[in-house]
């Protein structure tokens, strides 16, 4: 049998307190006595209380999940980018929800719908090679959800984009190698 998560109401009942008192005690509200705060927090820790993140997000109308859509998870570039996104998101107490579109427009549209249904606070996307219509991305903007393209971008949508200038990068690399005295440079 599955063990039930302990709730604020369970703590309140066990300690003969109101749920609002327990909630304030968990948030270290100074209006609650230090003794009661300590009692509540120790009980919560002992019983492995974890706040219901979804309930908090509903109450505050703030979601701490960012959606990421990539064409392929196994591609070295995208797995490296995902690791960086995860690392930065964690610094701000955000989670990421990853969708793989598989270089398929239909899967990309479904991924956007899934992320919007999950009420993510923003979407980072590297569009599929087969994407030739962009209504699904416009829908993201129309729903007032932040949208940022990276690597592969859509020029028809007015939103933020993160791109690498391959030409300038290659130019700078060759320029540097030439400045070290190399005369025969191979490009593989």
Query: Does residue 107 share a domain with residue 45?
Result: no
Kind of pairing between the strands at 146-150 and 65-70? unpaired
pLDDT of residue 1: 61
pLDDT of residue 66: 95
Query: Does residue 84 share a domain with residue 153?
Result: yes
pLDDT of residue 59: 73
What stretches in the chain show pLDDT beneath 50?
Answer: none
pLDDT of residue 154: 76
3-state secondary structure of 144: coil
**CA atoms of 81 and 70, how far apart (whole Å):** 10
Look at the chain and report how many structural domains it folds into. Answer: 2
Question: Does 15 reside within a domain?
Answer: yes
**CA atoms of 165 and 162, how far apart (whole Å):** 10
Query: Does residue 158 share a domain with residue 79?
Result: yes
Task: Show the domain range for 147.
Answer: 62-166
Query: Does residue 82 share a domain with residue 24?
Result: no
pLDDT of residue 55: 73
Q: How far is CA 53 from CA 5, 12, 85, 137, in A?
A: 13, 19, 21, 27
């Amino acid at each position: 049998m599955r063990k039930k998560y302990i709730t604020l109401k369970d703590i309140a009942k066990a300690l003969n307190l109101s749920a609002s008192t327990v909630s304030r005690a968990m948030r270290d509200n100074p209006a609650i006595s230090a003794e009661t705060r300590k009692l509540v927090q120790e009980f919560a820790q002992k019983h492995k209380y974890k706040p219901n993140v979804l309930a908090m997000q509903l109450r505050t109308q703030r979601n701490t999940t960012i959606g990421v859509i990539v064409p392929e998870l196994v591609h070295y570039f995208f797995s490296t980018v995902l690791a960086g996104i995860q690392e930065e998101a964690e610094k701000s107490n955000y989670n990421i929800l990853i969708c793989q579109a598989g270089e398929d427009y239909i899967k990309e549209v479904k991924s956007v719908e899934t992320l919007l249904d999950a009420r993510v606070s923003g979407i980072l996307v590297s569009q599929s090679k087969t994407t030739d219509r962009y209504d699904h991305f416009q829908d993201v903007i129309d729903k007032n959800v932040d949208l940022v393209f990276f690597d592969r971008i859509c020029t028809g949508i007015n939103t933020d984009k993160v791109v690498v200038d391959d030409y300038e990068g290659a130019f700078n690399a060759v320029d540097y190698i030439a400045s070290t005295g190399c005369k025969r440079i191979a490009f593989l």
